[in-house]
Structures are given as structure tokens and as C-alpha cells.
């Protein structure tokens, strides 16, 4: 099988979570040492479905907006990181500002309480960073605040307990020094994976919300070096570049979605995560983008489960 053999104009990265958000997609051999803890977490998982599915819908919405602006540029994003960062930020707001932030994330405070939203994000972060998982995910949202501001203690405590986030006081008077402090912090937190995150800071900056995510997964079937070779990759109709491609025979979770004019390849990672590679037919990228919804994605999962 050869991956990426067709033209792809944009890339959608729904990183860290589709399998954790979809009922029945957890591997059967996932073990929990404490049965009582498992039952408690399962109960919390069920009552948080409304929040998790909302994040799922936002993933597609976040992708379509930047993707619609360009027909050739790649779009790379982590929807869960974005939603989590703004949900954490809402902890320090009230009134219209609170409604606007959570409303922008499609949460209706008449239907779900603010406390419930934050508790579910706490559970979501716990799912990703569970010590029994074999995934290597480094995910964080840190708030760098001017040392001239005094924050409410409850906000600082909630940010730490619910979102594992630190509130760090720094001086923004020297923007070059502040940029270095933020970049050094992120580099340490991601073990050197993310370097130079902040390129510049405005002189009147008083607050910087920094979000980062680093994911290292290992496929259940390891690929040997001899399977990788450089071949042509068609960026668009006029541009072709040489990139490393995987070329091997084997048994794969591969299905055809005629409605989206696409092939879907599922790759299992160690732990409880899967990667979905959706490859549209030439000229069918827009059809895929417009047709791929949460409901349709569940139909794909249903097809995969039957294979």
C-alpha cells in the first residue's frame, strides 16, 4: 500500500481525542488497576458526553474557517487545545464576557452549567494524561500576566486544579525579555519540542495566553526503514515535490466513502488513540470539507467497527 499518493491541498489535524470522545472506540484490552475508580470515571464520562460532543463539532468548525480562506495552504490545528485554552480563560470572567467566550465555544449556559463545563474539561485532560496510557502527550495552557496586575486567588487555584495551568507573573516592560521567558518556559515544558513559539510582543501587552501541545505516538505495527522511499507528492495541479512515502504490503483498516468521494485509512497507535487519514479523490477536497460532519464521522466509525 502507498500512502499520500494523491493530491492533498490541505491537512486537517484533529489531534488527541476523537477516540476518547467516541463511545465504544476504546480498546477492549485497556486495563484499569482500580475497578471502583474505573466505574467512577465511566460515570463522569457519560454525563460529560454533551460537552465532549460539542468539542467534536467545534473541531470541524475551526477547520473550515481557515481552510475556506485558501485553496492551497495547509491548515494544521489542534481543536481541543484551542477550546481548552479559552474555556480556562473564561474562569476569570463573568457577565457578558463569560457568556461571549462560552457562547463562542457553542456552550449554552441555559442548558449546561459553567461548573459542569469546567469539570468535564478537567476529566478530558485527565483522559489524555492518564498514567496508564501509552500515549506521550504534553499539553498545557499557561497564562503570563503582567506583574502590575493582581489576580483573584480563586481563579489561580481553579486554573491549576481544573486545567493543570499555571499563572505566571512577569514584566512586559521589556518585551524582548518577556518573549524569552515565555519561549524558555514552553521549551522546557515540551522537552525542547517547541522552540521560539512567540515571535514578538506588543509593547502594551499585559496578558499572554500560551497554549501548546506535543504528541508522540507509536504505531502498533512498526515500519522498517526499507519501507520508506522518496516519491512524487502533488501539492496542487502545478506543483510536485519529492517527499518520503511509505510503501508496504499488509492488512489495513481501509474503507471507501462514496458520499465524500474519499478513502479512509485508520492507523492504530499504542494506547487508546487512532489516526484517521481521509484522502479525497482529485478535485474533491471541497466536497470532503463540506460533507464531513460529526454525524458522518460516526458513520465512518460504524463502518470501521464492522471490518
The per-residue pLDDT for range 128-154, each reduced to its tens digit, is: 766 555 666 778 889 999 999 999 999
Q: Is 142 within the bounds of a domain?
A: yes
Residue 150 lies in a domain: yes
Is pLDDT of 224 > 60? yes
Domain count, the chain: 1
Smallest CA-to-CA distance from 133 within 21, 33, 22, 266 is with 33
Q: For helices 95-104 and 114-128, what crossing angle results, to 10°?
A: 50
CATH number of the domain encompassing residue 186:
3.30.497.10
Please indicate, yes or no, if residue 211 is contained in any of the structural domains. yes
Residue 239 lies in a domain: no
Q: Measuring CA to CA, which residue among 254, 268, 271, 276 is closest to residue 222?
A: 268
Contact predicate 125/202, CB 8 Å: no
216 three-class SS: strand
Helices (H), 25-174: 35-47, 49-67, 79-89, 95-104, 114-128, 153-163
Q: Is residue 274 part of a domain?
A: no
Residue 199 neighbours by CB under 8 Å, 6+ apart? 179
Place of cell 480563586: 154
The verdict on residue 297 lying in a domain is no
Residue 21: predicted pLDDT: 42
Residues 6 or more apart whose CB falls under 8 angstroms from that of 279 comprise 4, 6, 8, 262, 263, 264, 265
Instruction: Check residue 250 and report its DSSP letter.
Output: -
- Which pLDDT tens digit goes with each residue over 72-106? 677 788 888 889 999 999 998 999 999 999 999 99
d(CA 54, CA 10): 24
What is the structure's pLDDT at 37?
A: 41
Tens-place pLDDT, residues 18-65: 433 443 333 333 333 344 444 445 556 577 888 888 888 888 888 877
What range does the domain containing 138 cover?
A: 79-216
Q: Which three cell numbers stand for residue 273?
A: 488513540
Task: Tell me 90's DSSP state.
Answer: G
- Position 27 in a domain: no
The answer to whether residue 172 is domain-embedded is: yes
Amino acid at each position: 500500500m502507498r500512502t499520500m499518493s494523491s493530491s492533498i491541498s490541505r491537512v486537517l489535524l484533529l489531534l488527541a481525542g476523537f477516540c476518547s470522545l467516541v463511545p465504544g472506540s476504546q480498546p477492549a484490552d485497556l486495563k484499569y488497576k482500580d475497578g471502583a475508580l474505573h466505574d467512577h470515571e465511566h460515570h463522569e464520562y457519560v454525563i460529560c458526553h454533551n460537552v465532549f460532543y460539542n468539542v467534536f463539532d467545534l473541531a470541524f468548525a475551526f477547520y473550515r474557517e481557515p481552510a475556506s480562506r485558501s485553496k492551497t495552504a495547509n491548515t494544521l490545528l489542534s481543536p481541543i487545545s484551542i477550546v481548552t485554552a479559552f474555556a480556562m480563560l473564561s474562569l476569570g470572567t463573568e457577565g457578558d464576557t463569560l457568556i461571549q467566550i462560552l457562547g463562542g465555544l457553542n456552550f449554552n449556559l441555559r442548558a449546561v452549567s459553567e461548573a459542569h463545563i469546567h469539570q468535564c474539561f478537567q476529566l478530558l485532560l485527565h483522559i489524555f494524561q492518564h498514567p496508564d496510557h501509552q500515549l506521550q502527550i504534553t499539553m498545557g495552557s499557561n497564562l503570563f500576566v503582567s506583574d502590575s496586575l493582581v489576580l483573584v486567588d480563586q481563579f489561580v487555584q481553579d486554573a491549576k486544579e481544573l486545567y493543570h495551568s499555571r499563572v505566571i507573573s512577569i514584566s512586559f516592560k521589556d518585551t524582548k525579555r518577556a518573549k524569552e521567558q515565555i519561549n524558555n518556559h514552553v521549551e522546557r515544558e515540551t522537552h525542547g519540542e517547541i522552540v521560539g513559539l512567540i515571535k514578538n510582543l506588543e509593547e502594551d501587552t499585559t496578558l499572554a495566553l500560551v497554549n501548546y501541545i506535543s504528541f508522540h505516538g507509536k504505531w502498533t505495527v512498526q515500519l522498517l526503514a526499507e519501507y520508506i522511499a522518496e516519491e512524487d507528492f502533488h501539492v496542487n495541479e502545478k506543483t510536485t515535490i519529492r517527499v518520503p512515502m511509505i510503501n508496504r504490503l499488509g492488512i489495513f483498516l481501509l474503507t471507501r466513502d462514496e458520499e465524500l468521494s474519499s478513502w479512509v485509512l485508520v492507523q492504530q497507535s499504542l494506547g487508546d488513540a487512532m489516526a484517521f487519514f481521509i484522502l479525497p479523490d482529485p478535485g474533491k477536497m471541497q466536497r470532503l470539507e463540506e460533507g464531513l460532519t460529526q454525524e458522518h464521522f460516526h458513520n465512518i466509525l460504524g463502518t470501521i467497527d464492522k471490518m
